[in-house]
């Protein structure tokens, strides 16, 4: 399995460390403050390690989509303030990520000090992975530590480009993501159960196709279940269906049966006419069909029991995508019960893919009851698709250890 150099493999004493973190956090429009600091907290172990080992931490990140130009809405300044509180030490904010200003501040840094550079996406060169821009970023430091798993599926200058000029090693968050997701893809313990939900089959085709080769069982919930159910000739009423994916849905089910993978679809669903809190809702069995004008918005109670029974004894579970419209409490029960079932599994490696399933497990306060909640939505999906991520490939392999590192 993928073995990468980590921050523990290199000498940090007195080194300027360009630490690519994922501080892409929501900012409260009214107060201008950080609305959710989960991602900042997730980077703390690596930041602290760098500081405790005599490094100078130069933090670089993106925030939002500023379209390649300066936009105060996307400034990282509020993040510096929050980070200061979390770290309990001064964080100097530099209002640029390259150039003389940044250089001057960095040259004056002492061991154990922290600088946060302004949003790297204020430059269009970041997303273009422009080599000159990457070189300018790299020239600020002696070593690159990549802890931004959420960006790992993108080849940008601050995560990938800089590795042309500096040795790039993984931070602790990146290391854990690679270990957990990598294991689920490369050599999972069996029985291996995959739970997929969310809005669209089309977003998860790559994941399904890859995991069909590895999993023993695939459980399908969320809106995507209706594309499969319709492909089987069931009446799905006004539920969300991707008409152009019906053929594909059939092929996937045939492939599962050929490979001996158990493909489990819901047997009942919670339906309503509107996707609204307080809307009239009822449970129908899939075999009885969903009437016109009604749509399925959650898995039903029998399905919850069925899925729970299918999770029993699992040694590896990967979950990606909510079972229903979990943002509305009326349709959140399926997602909550599956989250609980995961949390209760003993002796199993339980991995929750990023994005909405991570939001769901946090909503139910169960994040610390599973083995791993991925911090990357797109990146975790691409890992599960079995793809090589540019932001991981650029990190030095463990057998490439450099003498100067």
| Number of residues located near ligand AMP, criterion CB under 6 A | 16
Chain residues 224-283 in contact with ligand AMP, contact rule CB under 6 A? 240
Q: Is 221 a catalytic residue?
A: no
Least distance in Å: CB of 303 to ligand AMP?
A: 12
203 binds ligand AMP (CB under 6 A): yes
Chain residues 345-374 in contact with ligand AMP, contact rule CB under 6 A? 355-356
199 binds ligand AMP (CB under 6 A): yes
Of 78, 171, 198, 391, the one binding ligand AMP (CB under 6 A) is 198
Using the minimum distance from each CB to ligand AMP, give the nearer residue, 75 or 320.
Answer: 320
Q: Is 355 a catalytic residue?
A: yes
Using the minimum distance from each CB to ligand AMP, give the nearer residue, 9 or 203.
Answer: 203
Of 55, 66, 324, 390, the one binding ligand AMP (CB under 6 A) is 324
Burial code of 75-114, b = ≥16 C-beta within 10 A, e = fewer? Answer: bbebbbbbbbebbeeebbbbebbbeeebeebbeebeeebb
Using the minimum distance from each CB to ligand AMP, give the nearer residue, 188 or 377.
Answer: 377
Using the minimum distance from each CB to ligand AMP, give the nearer residue, 142 or 356.
Answer: 356
327 binds ligand AMP (CB under 6 A): yes
Q: Is 39 a catalytic residue?
A: yes
297 binds ligand AMP (CB under 6 A): yes
Q: Is 101 a catalytic residue?
A: no
Q: Which residues bind ligand AMP (CB under 6 A)?
A: 198-200, 203, 222-223, 240, 296-297, 321-322, 324-325, 327, 355-356
Which residues does the annotation mark as catalytic?
A: 39, 200, 355, 378
- Binding-site members for ATP are 204, 296, 327, 354-357
């Amino acid at each position: 399995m993928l073995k990468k150099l980590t921050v523990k493999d290199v000498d940090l004493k007195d080194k300027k460390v360009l630490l690519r973190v994922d501080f892409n956090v929501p900012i409260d429009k009214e107060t201008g403050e950080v609305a959710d600091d989960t991602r900042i907290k997730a980077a703390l172990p690596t930041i602290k390690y760098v500081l405790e080992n005599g490094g100078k931490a130069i933090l670089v990140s993106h925030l939002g989509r500023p379209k390649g130009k300066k936009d105060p809405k996307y400034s990282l300044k509020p993040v510096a303030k929050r980070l200061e509180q979390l770290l309990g030490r001064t964080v100097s904010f530099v209002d640029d990520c390259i150039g003389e200003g940044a250089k001057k501040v960095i040259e004056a840094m002492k061991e154990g000090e922290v600088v946060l550079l302004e949003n790297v996406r204020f430059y269009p060169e970041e997303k273009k992975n422009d080599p000159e821009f990457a070189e300018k970023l790299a020239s600020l430091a002696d070593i690159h530590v990549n802890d931004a798993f959420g960006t790992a599926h993108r080849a940008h200058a601050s995560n990938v480009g800089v590795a042309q000029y500096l040795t790039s090693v993984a931070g602790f968050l990146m290391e854990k993501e690679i270990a957990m997701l990598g294991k689920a893809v490369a050599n999972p313990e069996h029985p291996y159960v995959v739970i997929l939900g969310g809005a669209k089959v089309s977003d998860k085709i790559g994941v399904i196709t890859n995991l069909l080769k590895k999993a023993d069982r695939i459980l399908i919930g969320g809106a995507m279940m209706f594309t499969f159910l319709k492909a089987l000739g069931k009446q799905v009423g006004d539920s969300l269906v991707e008409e152009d994916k019906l053929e594909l849905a059939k092929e996937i089910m045939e492939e599962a049966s050929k490979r001996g993978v158990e493909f489990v679809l819901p047997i009942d669903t919670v339906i309503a006419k509107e996707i609204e809190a307080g809307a009239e809702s009822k449970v129908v069995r899939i075999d009885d069909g969903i009437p016109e004008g009604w749509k399925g918005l959650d898995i039903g109670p029998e399905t919850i029991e069925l899925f729970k029974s299918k999770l029993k004894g699992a040694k590896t579970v990967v979950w990606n995508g909510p079972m229903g419209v979990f943002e509305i409490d009326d349709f959140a029960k399926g997602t909550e019960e599956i989250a609980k079932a995961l949390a209760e599994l003993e002796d199993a490696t339980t991995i929750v893919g990023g994005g909405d399933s991570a939001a769901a497990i946090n909503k139910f306060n169960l994040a610390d009851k599973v083995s791993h909640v991925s911090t990357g939505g797109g990146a975790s999906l691409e890992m599960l698709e079995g793809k090589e991520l540019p932001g991981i490939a650029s990190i030095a392999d463990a057998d490439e250890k450099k003498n100067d590192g």
